[in-house]
Every structure is written in structure tokens, then in C-alpha cells.
Amino acid sequence: MKKLSLKILGIIIIGIVVLQGTVFATSNINQLNNKKEQNQDKIDETKEKKDEVTAEKNKTVQEVEKLDTQISDYETQIDELNTKIEELNNKIQESQEKLNKAQEDYTKQQELLNSRLVAIQEAGETSYLDFILSSNSLTDLISNYYLVTELTTNDTELLDKIQKQKEEIEKAKIDLENSKNELNTSKASKQSVSIQLKTAKDEKNKQVAQLSEDEKKLQEQIDELNQANKSIDGQIKAAQVAIKKAQEDAKRQQQSGGNSGSGSGSSGSGSTTSSSGFIKPVNSYITTGMYYSSGQYHGAVDFGAAGINGAPVYAVADGYVVTSTRLNGSYGNYIIIAHYNGLYTLYAHGQDGSRKVSAGQTVKQGQQIMNVGSTGNSTGPHLHFEVRTSPGTYSNRVDPRNYLP
């Protein structure tokens, strides 16, 4: 009768424990679903903002492309003007050379005329009139008259012709220079507009760069929220698995009369159990507590005694694994376990290849989950141990010393 009563009591206790665990896990699933819905609302809102930023960026990119086309058109026009200005410079140079040649011809002709006058003066004649009057006969007079007339006419016509050429060349040169000035004015105007367009393009490119950065940050927020929801899905699945596993274990224990063991397969850390139901996560002692340093918060305790490298790390209480992964920085190899009392524990810096549990798996108190190492942001072998009231929030870390024996 006494044995029967003990069996019944054992069955009742098992039922109560399973019920408490199931209620906690179900409540946790509801909280996780609510959090997932909140994240999805944020995702939708962030996507809408990102779409607006993307639309604005695309519009600005089109404006930049339009400015590029305008700048290219102006650069082409400026190049064409430079070609025309170069052609005018060549023509002005040719005109100057012709003008110099005409001036040279005029000077030579003038010198030739002057040399005749000098010759006449040296001959004792003072002028063309004296030369005519000095004729010895009427025939000579007529002959000398026509000679002088023809000579002076030719000289005058030649000088007039050269002078006229000079004036025409000078006028053509002035016209060319005026055209060149007009082209230079047009070029300066187009260069000014081109500079303004390039300045506007630079500003638009800055806007595109800023919008691209905003777009990137918004996408990162979306990715983080999606990743958070994936993690929540994993936690929900793990909780569902834990409920099913706990119910199956309870059913087996009830069928066996409540005498089956915990099946932890490990003696654990060998320490006593605290009032919160936790044991120590490793057979060592705390070497570093929670503290602030240089604006950084160490929201954990460290077990880092000499010789701890490779030591077994144990689950401090029954629960199910929320996360079992590796971060290259920060925690290195780490595991998060959800316990049926509503708390979460985190174990970090484990040795590579030593993690023995995966997300969704149920664990027993004292079950080995990995080995102490120095992965991630670690200066030496130690176990970084946290207690949280929420699995993924740093602000919900509490002092583990209040829960450890």
C-alpha cells in the first residue's frame, strides 16, 4: 500500500512538472509569436521606407544620366568651337603673313620710287618737271613727258594697289578676330553652363550615394528582422519539440510507475543545486563578475581558473536548446538554453568541434553540452556564462551569481 502511494505521488509530481513545463513552453511560444508579428510589422514598414528610398534613388540616377547627356552635348559643342577657333587662328596667322608681305612690297616699291628721285637729284635735276624741261628738243620733251607720266602712273597705281591690298587684308584680319572673339565668348558661356551642370551632377551623385547608404541600412534592418524571425521560428519549433518530448517522457515514466531516472547520462558539475534549481556550469569557480569598463558592459560571469581549458560544460538545469552555433567574433562557439522556470542561460567561447547539442534538442540538468575553450573575442580559455530573461536581448541579462549555488 505504501509503495502504491509512493508511485501515485511520483506520478502526480511528474504530471505537475510536465504541466508546469508545458505551460511555460506554451506561454513562451505565444510570446515568440507575438514578437514575430511585431517583427513582421517592422519588416513591412521598413520595406515601404526602402521602396521610397529606392524610388528616389532611381529618380536621382535618371537625373544624373540626363545631366551626363547635357554635359556631353556641351563638351561636344565646346570641342567644335575649339576647332573653329583653331581654324580662325590659322587664318588670322595667314592674314598677318599676307599683311606683312604687302607691307614689305609697299616698302620696297616706296624705296624704289625714292631711289629714282635720288638718282634724278644726283643728276642735277630737282624734280620730274625739271627732267621734262631739260629736254633738248620737242621730241625729247614729249618722250620725257610720257616717260615721266607712265613712270609716276605706274608707281602710283602700284602703291595704291598695295595699299588697297593692305586695307583688305587688315579688314579681313579684323573680321576674323571679331569672329574669334564671338566664338570665345560662346565657348566661355558654354563652359560656364558645363561647370554648372557638373556641379549639379556632383550634388546628385552625393544624393545617390546617401540614398544608396540609406537603402543599404534599411535592407540590413530587414535582413536582421528576417533573421530574428528565423531564429524565433527555430525557438518555436524547439519549444514545440520540448513539449512533445516532455509529454512523451512523462507518459513513459507514468507507465513505468514513475521510477525511471532523468536519463541525463552525466553526473554534471558535481555541485549542489541552488534555490533557483541551477547547478554550476563547470567544475571551477568564478574569476570575473559583471562590470562596466570603457563604456562596455560585461553582463556575465567568467569561469577562468588555471587548467580549465577543455573542461566539460554542463547544462545548469533542464530545458531545450534555442541556439547552438559559432560567431567568428564575440561569443565564438556558444549555446543558449531555455529553462522551464522562464530563464535562459548562455555558454560561450567553447572549443571548436566540442558542441554536443543542437537547436531544438532537449537537455537535462548536468548534461555535457560542450568543452571550455577560447574561441571568439577571448584572451584565454574560460567559460563565459550569462543568465537572461529573454534569449536574444542583451538588456535582459541578470547577474548569474543570484542563481548559482
CATH number at 252 reads 1.10.287.2610
Amino acid of residue 83: T
Domain shared by 250 and 272, yes or no:
no
Domain shared by 253 and 277, yes or no:
no
Residue with cell 620710287: 113
Domain shared by 251 and 272, yes or no:
no
Enumerate long-range contacts of 6-14, CB under 8 Å, 24 or more apart: 7/257, 7/258, 7/259, 10/253, 10/257, 10/258, 10/259, 11/253, 11/254, 11/257, 11/258, 13/258, 14/250, 14/253, 14/254, 14/258
Domain shared by 88 and 24, yes or no:
yes
Question: pTM here?
Answer: 0.51
Residue 260, pLDDT score: 43
pLDDT tens, per residue, the chain with 405 residues: 555 554 555 555 445 545 555 555 666 778 888 888 998 999 999 999 999 999 999 999 999 999 999 989 988 988 888 888 888 888 878 877 877 877 787 777 677 766 765 655 555 444 555 555 555 666 665 655 555 566 666 667 766 777 787 788 788 778 888 887 888 888 888 888 889 989 998 999 999 999 999 999 999 999 988 888 887 787 777 677 767 766 676 677 667 655 444 444 445 665 678 888 899 999 999 999 888 776 678 889 999 988 899 999 999 999 888 889 998 878 999 999 988 787 899 999 999 999 999 987 889 999 999 999 999 999 999 999 999 987 666 678 999 999 999
Domain shared by 164 and 295, yes or no:
no
CATH number at 266 reads 2.70.70.10
Domain shared by 71 and 187, yes or no:
yes
Domain shared by 216 and 309, yes or no:
no
Where is the domain boundary, 238, 259, 280?
A: 259
Residue 60, pLDDT score: 92
Domain shared by 277 and 151, yes or no:
no
8 Å CB contact between 32 and 236? yes
> Which residue(s) pair with 388 in the sheet?
344, 397
Where is the domain boundary, 237, 259, 281?
A: 259
Residue with cell 554635359: 71
Domain shared by 278 and 198, yes or no:
no
Provide the CA 326 distance to its chain's centre, in angstroms: 27
Identify the domain containing residue 291 by its residue range. Answer: 262-405
Residue 58, pLDDT score: 95
Domain shared by 266 and 222, yes or no:
no
Provide the CA 216 distance to its chain's centre, in angstroms: 8
Domain shared by 84 and 232, yes or no:
yes
Where is the domain boundary, 212, 228, 259?
A: 259
Residue 212, pLDDT score: 93
Domain shared by 350 and 240, yes or no:
no
8 Å CB contact between 208 and 71? no
Q: How many domains, the chain?
A: 2
